[in-house]
Structure 1
Amino acid sequence: MLINLKRLVKNILLIVIILLIIFIVYLNCVSFFVSDSIDFDGLSLKHHNLNVTGLGRLIVPNIVHLIQFDNPFISFITFLCIKAAIKFQSPDVLIIHTNEKQLNGKYWDRLKENEQIQVEKMVKPTEIFNLPLAHVYHSSDVARLIVLMKYGGIYIDSDLLILKDLNSFRRFECSIGWPENEFIGNQLIIAHKDSRFIKKWFQSYKYYNGSSWYFNAGQLPTQSILNSNPEYVHRETKSFGVAPEILYLYSSVNNKSDWIDKFHTIHLLERHRSYLIPSDSIRYFNEFNIKSYNKTFGSMARDILFDSPRLIT
C-alpha cells in the first residue's frame, strides 16, 4: 500500500509539472500578442520628448502584420516582402490577416511551413461609422488601424520591403513615414496598441470620403491631427521610403551600402510601376528574372533571396 501511495504522489507531481510547463508556454505565446497598457497622455507629462527620444525599453511588440482581402494568392512581391520581414526583422510572429478561407499559390507553398507565419481570419470592413467603404483598399486602410489597436506591432503593406531591422522604433509610441511638406504614408506603421494617434486616426473616419483615394489614409490625419499634435508620433521623413522612389528602384543602379544608409524600408509601388516606368523590360517579377534584373530593386531582391545583391547569370 505504501508503494502504491508513493507511485500516486509521483504521478501527481508529474502531472503538476506538465501543467506548469504548459502554462509557461501559454504565457510566452500570449506575450507575443499582448503588450502592456500605457497611458501615453500621462506618460508624456514625464517624458516631454516621448516620441523624439523614445523610452529606454521596447514597448511595441515584435509582431509584423499584413492584410490581404479578396485574393487568396500570394504574389512574388508579397512573398519577397514576407521573406524580408522574416530575415531582417525576425518577428516573434508574422500575421497575415485575410478574409479568404485559405491562401494559395506556389509562393504560399514556400511560406506556409514557417512557424513564424500565422494566418488569422478577419472580416473585411465594409463600412465605418455607418458609412459604406468604397473600395477594398479603403477596407485595408481601416483594417490596419483595427489590428494595431488590438495587438500593436509593425504593419507593412504587401509591397513594403524591410531592408534592416526596425527595433529602434519599437521604443516609440508610434512611428510613421511623414516626408517634408507631404502627407503621412500608411504603408508602414509601427505602433503600441494604445497609441493616441492611431485611436484618433480611426475616429477621423467619421468624416470618411469614399470619392478621394487618400483623403482618410493620409490627408485628413495629417491635417486634422498631426499638424497640430506632431508629438503623437515619431516622424521619419526619409528612411521609411514611403515617398515615391520609383526612379531609385527601377531606373538606376545603387549599391547596398547606399540603400542601407538611406532606408529602413521602401515602398515598391508594385501596382503603379507599369505606368510610372512603362519602359521597364519586366512586367511581372519572379524568382528567375530577378536574378538578372540590373536595377536597384533587383539588387535588393537578390540580397533577400540569395544573400547577395550581385547579378546571377
Structure 2
Amino acid sequence: MVIVSPFQEQASHDEKRLHAPANHLQIRTNSNKTNLIDMEENKIICLEPNICKEDPTHEVYKYIRTDSFNRMLQGRIDVTHNITHDTNVIPNIVHFTWYGSKRKNIFRFHHLISVLSAHRFIKPSVIYFWCESVPEGDYFKEARTKVPELKLVYRLPPTEIYGQRVAVAEHVTDVVRLEALMEYGGIYFDLDAVAVKSPDDLLHYETVMGWESPSGLCNGIILSSPWANFLKIWHREYYSFQDRFWSYHSVRLPAELTKRYPGLIHTETASINRPNWSPQELAMLYKEGNIYDFKTKNYFVHLWFRQHGVDHNPRDIRTWNTTVGALFRHVYYGDDTIWPSMKDRHFKF
C-alpha cells in the first residue's frame, strides 16, 4: 500500500527566507557528521547544506528552508516498509528547541541537566539547539562551556502549517522538532527530559517513541531517521491542526497513527516516558525517600517539571533524597549518591 499526499507542494508560509548565495546550497554533507564547510569565496560556514553562518565569529547559525524539504515531504510512503535494520539508521545527533522566550528566556538548572545528559550519555556528534533567541543566565553559559558540540540554530518560529494558525509556544516547538527530525534525523527530547544511558540499541529502528499512557504517545522524546515514513504521515495530518487543542497533534494523534500503521514505528512501553504525570507515578519521581531504579529501567526520564515547579541548583541536589535528586546527581556529578557520602570534587564532562 502506498500513500500519496493530497496536498500540493507548497512553500512554508511561516518561513521568511534567509537568502544565501546559490552555490552554497549545492554542498552535500553527511548528517551524521559535524563537518564545517568553509566557502572561502563567501566566508560561509555550514553544519548542513542549509544550516549556515556567514561570519565565523557569530555564535548562531541560520536555518534556510529549501525546496527539497517539500519534495521529500510529498514523496510516496510505503506502509509495508520494514523499519527494522541490521545497522543503525538514526544518526547520533541531538535536537533541543527554545521558543516562547519573549515570556521566559532564562535557562534553568533542569535545562542544563537535560543538555549535560545528552553530552554525557548519548555522546552525539552535534547538538542542534533550535531557537528564536539565545537563552540567558549562568546555566546556559555553563552548558556552552561543558558541551562544545552544542550549536545554536536560529529558525523563525512558524506561524502557520498547512494554512492553520500556530501561536501557542508549545505548538510552535512541536512543529520545529518534527520538521528538524524529518530533515536531519536524530534524537529529540524536551528540556525537562533527561537521558540516563545510551539509546544505541534503539537506533536501528527508523522511528522510536514512548507511551506516556495507553492513549498517549508523547512527542517529548522522539528518535528518528531522516524522512521516516511515520513522521511524514504525522506531519501531513497537521492539515487539521487546531491551536486551541492542547495535546491532540502532539500526543493523541501519534498514538492513533501507531495503531493505524504499527509497522512504521517502534514503541517503548515504559523506558522513555514512564513514570508519567499521574499523581501515583509523579510520586516515584518526587516523593522523598522513594527512589526509582531509573538506571536499569529507562533510556530517558521525563521530569514533567511543570508538575514540580521548584527550581534547584548544584548545592541543593546534593541532599535531595528523591529519584529526580538522584538523577540530577547522576548527570551533574557522575554519582547519584547523597552528598554526605560523596567527596566534594569537580567532574569533567
TM-score by length of 1: 0.79
**1:192 counterpart residue number:** 225
The answer on whether the counterparts of 2:206 and 2:224 sit within 8 Å (CA) in structure 1 is yes
Could you tell me how far apart the structure 2 residues matched to 1:213 and 1:25 are?
Answer: 36
Could you tell me how far apart the structure 1 residues matched to 2:234 and 2:79 are?
Answer: 20
**1:61 counterpart residue number:** 91
Amino acid at match of 1:64: V
Deviations 1:100-144 (A, max 9, x none): 1x3321011112133211111111111111111141001111111
The answer on whether the counterparts of 2:110 and 2:192 sit within 8 Å (CA) in structure 1 is yes
**1:165 counterpart residue number:** 198
Q: Is residue 2:302 matched to residue 1:267?
A: yes
Could you tell me how far apart the structure 2 residues matched to 1:93 and 1:118 are?
Answer: 7
**1:233 counterpart residue number:** 265
TM-superposed CA distance for 1:272, in Å, is 2.0
Q: Is residue 2:62 matched to residue 1:29?
A: no
Q: Is residue 2:152 matched to residue 1:119?
A: yes
1:248 aligned to which of 256, 259, 284: 284
Could you tell me how far apart the structure 1 residues matched to 2:92 and 2:137 are?
Answer: 27
TM-score by length of 2: 0.71
Could you tell me how far apart the structure 2 residues matched to 1:226 and 1:193 are?
Answer: 18
TM-superposed CA distance for 1:220, in Å, is 2.3
TM-superposed CA distance for 1:261, in Å, is 1.8
Deviations 1:65-117 (A, max 9, x none): 000013232111110111111101111011110011x3321011112133211
Between Structure 1 and Structure 2, the one with more helix by share is 1
Deviations 1:193-234 (A, max 9, x none): 1211111111111111222110111112322x2211111100
Instruction: Give % identity.
Output: 24
Deviations 1:134-158 (A, max 9, x none): 4100111111111111110000101
Could you tell me how far apart the structure 2 residues matched to 1:217 and 1:239 are?
Answer: 19
Could you tell me how far apart the structure 2 residues matched to 1:43 and 1:126 are?
Answer: 30
The answer on whether the counterparts of 1:40 and 1:195 sit within 8 Å (CA) in structure 2 is no
- Aligned positions, number: 271
**2:322 counterpart residue number:** 295
Distance 1:143 1:285, change over 3 A: same
Which blocks of at least 5 consecutive residues in structure 2 are unaligned?
Answer: 1-27, 37-46, 50-71, 341-349
Q: Calculate the aligned-residue CA RMSD, in Å.
A: 2.7
2:135 aligned to which of 96, 100, 103: 103
**2:58 counterpart residue number:** none
Amino acid at match of 1:215: Y
2:163 aligned to which of 130, 134, 140: 130
Q: Is residue 2:337 matched to residue 1:310?
A: yes
Could you tell me how far apart the structure 1 residues matched to 2:249 and 2:79 are?
Answer: 28
Runs of 4+ in 1 over 6 A off after TM superposition: 23-27
TM-superposed CA distance for 1:42, in Å, is 6.2
Could you tell me how far apart the structure 2 residues matched to 1:183 and 1:291 are?
Answer: 34
Q: Which structure has the bigger radius of gyration? A: 1
Which blocks of at least 5 consecutive residues in structure 1 are unaligned?
Answer: 1-22, 275-282
The answer on whether the counterparts of 1:174 and 1:190 sit within 8 Å (CA) in structure 2 is yes
Between Structure 1 and Structure 2, the one with more strand by share is 2
The answer on whether the counterparts of 1:292 and 1:312 sit within 8 Å (CA) in structure 2 is yes
The answer on whether the counterparts of 1:204 and 1:221 sit within 8 Å (CA) in structure 2 is no
TM-superposed CA distance for 1:41, in Å, is 5.7
